Amino acid sequence: MNFSSIKNIPTMYLYLGSIFSFVLANMVRDKNIIFYYVLLVVGVLFFVFGLFKRTRKQ
């Protein structure tokens, strides 16, 4: 799989996407549990991609 679009995203946007995903997940926690877990996984993935990109850059 080619993730070239994710590789070109600045690290700050990955972290902001992670925070946005966590906040949105917290807002929908009681209404839709499946969407809550999907947003949590997306937030963790954005955070991990940001960490990997930051460590490879330094």
Interval 7-29: pLDDT, tens: 778 889 999 999 999 999 999 99
* Whether the predicted pLDDT of 3 surpasses 70: no
* Whether the predicted pLDDT of 58 surpasses 70: no
CB 16 within 8 A of CB 1: no
Count the alpha carbons within 13 Å of 33 in the hemisphere toward its beta carbon: 0
For 15-40, b where at least 16 C-beta lie within 10 A, e where not — what string? Answer: bebbeebbebbeeeeeeeeeebeebb
Looking at the chain, the whole-number percentage of residues with pLDDT higher than 90 is 60
**C-alpha to C-alpha distance for 13 and 39, rounded to whole angstroms:** 16
Read off the tokens for 57. 């850059």
6 or 18, greater pLDDT: 18
